[in-house]
Homo-oligomer: A and B are copies of this chain.
Amino acid sequence: MTIGHEKPSDIFKERLRAARESLRQMSQAALAKESGLPPSSIAHFEAGTRKPSFDSLRKLANALSVTTDFLLGRTHNPEGAAEADPLYRDMQKLNDENRRQAADFMRFLAEKHDKEAGKK
């Protein structure tokens, strides 16, 4: 099953905390310094009592080196911009023929995984 039906603002606070703690291992104070935002704003964001503005969202994503799409819950991919994702970069180099091959291979992996997983 896919990720959930939480509200965008709820996803955001979880993503922000996940990126800060698990991914970057920073304190709120450290992220505040890195992003140029006041520490209280970070706390409010993670508490869900505020949603970041245009500029704040940008600063957060830059400081954490994550995509804004990840913070907003629009993609599962935690790390780096899609462009910065080495997988995606490799993907960009593929021609149509190679893309087809890669797609087939991934389909094969997925089916194999389904069989191994059995019924749940």
Interface residues of A (CB under 8 A from B): 8-9, 12, 51-55, 57-58, 61-62, 67-69, 72, 74-77, 81-83, 85-88, 90-95, 98-99, 101-103, 105-107, 109-110, 113-114
Contacts and interface: CB of A to CB of B under 8 A. Distances in A.
A106 B91 CA distance: 7
Nearest to A112: B98
B55 A8 contact: yes
Given A53-B53, A77-B83, 14 more contacts: A8-B55, A8-B58, A58-B74, A69-B81, A74-B81, A75-B82, A76-B92, A81-B83, A94-B109, A94-B113, A98-B109, A98-B113, A102-B106, A102-B109
